[in-house]
Structure 1
Amino acid sequence: MARRLKIGDLIEIPTQKGLSYAHYTHKDKVCGQLIFVYKGFYHKRPNNLKEILTKEVQFYTFFPLTSAVNHGDMTFVENIPLVEHEVKFPLFRTGMADPKTKKIEDWWIWDGKNSVRVGTLDNDQKKLPPRGVWNDTLLIKRIEDQWSPDQ
């Protein structure tokens, strides 16, 4: 039976390096489900799942979570209320690459409702993740590579 996910659902993601965890925090009308992925790999499911949410966030991204859970690629674990740093919709960076140079010269910051043109990113803005929806292959690769948005 298909599971209907809710904000606050903690999801277990199997990787080649161990289990990883993501927390479903928001739903956007266009981009879909937003997850916060937490740093760390586990050989087995921790007894204290709330402790995962005290770890550092590796990144956040949009991801078709319901599909992944309903196909059995990822597992719903438990619903845990959002923690303080997850409540406010986070910022994303976005921009269009110049076809000639393949570089983004004109950046925008998106807050879930509005986009603000900033031109060149400052050091803090470079740490924001790119706006987009990832598939499971990219999500797991970035988890395993311990990727962060400023890379």
Structure 2
Amino acid sequence: MIRSGDVFGIRTSGGDAYFQYVKKIAPMGTLIRVLPGVFADAPTDFESLVAIETNFWIFFPAGAAFSRGIVRKIGRYAIPDHSKNVPVFRAGVVDPAVGKVVDWWLWDGEKEWRVGSITDEQRKLPIRGSWNDTMLIKRIEEGWLPENDPR
């Protein structure tokens, strides 16, 4: 069983990356905050790593990944103040005519509202979605951030 605050490691081609389970939010599932960095050797101070600003947020089936041995539990650490609240996510459907989202929606974990086009600041908001381990690893290896997503 996993609990809020649990930190997990996941193997990438460049070393281990780490994320913290924050909470479960219906209907999306398990919200994680991916921590910055990929490490050839395990950090000696996970408390300091957890305290750093979140690299990106995504929904990921951490419980299932843990029970299947895809990720390993490192320990439980306090969720820092800057990451205790559910972030506002952006979401939209790619318009095939232009290959981009033209009509964005924002979602705070409870309610959703239409904003149309987004500002450069809103482009930094996490993208609402759920990834499997293959996608999570791929995005970590690419150095992916929501503001650089081509959508």
TM-score, normalized by length of structure 2? 0.92
- The aligned length equals 148
Moved more, 44-53 or 107-116: 44-53
Q: Classify the secondary structure of the residue corresponding to 1:137.
A: helix
Structure 2 runs not aligned, ≥5 long? none
How far 1:5 moved relative to its partner? 0.4
The answer on 1:41 being equivalent to 2:41 is no
How far 1:95 moved relative to its partner? 1.2
Equivalent in the alignment of 1:24: 21
Match for 2:93 among 93, 96, 115? 96
The answer on 1:85 being equivalent to 2:46 is no
Structure 1 runs not aligned, ≥5 long? none
The aligned amino acid for 2:65 is: A
Does structure 2 retain, via aligned residues, the 8 Å contact 1:95–1:106?
yes
Higher percent of residues as strand = 1
Distance in 2, matches of 1:49 and 1:97, equals 38
Does structure 1 retain, via aligned residues, the 8 Å contact 2:54–2:83?
no
Match for 1:147 among 130, 144, 148? 144
Does structure 1 retain, via aligned residues, the 8 Å contact 2:87–2:126?
no
Residues 102-121 of structure 1 correspond to what in structure 2 (within 5 A)?
102-121=99-118
Distance in 2, matches of 1:98 and 1:142, equals 23
Distance in 2, matches of 1:145 and 1:122, equals 24
Distance in 2, matches of 1:69 and 1:104, equals 33
Seq. identity, % = 38
Equivalent in the alignment of 1:131: 128
The aligned amino acid for 1:64 is: P
Where does structure 1 differ by over 3 angstroms across 4 or more consecutive aligned residues? 99-102
How far 1:99 moved relative to its partner? 4.3
Does structure 2 retain, via aligned residues, the 8 Å contact 1:58–1:147?
no
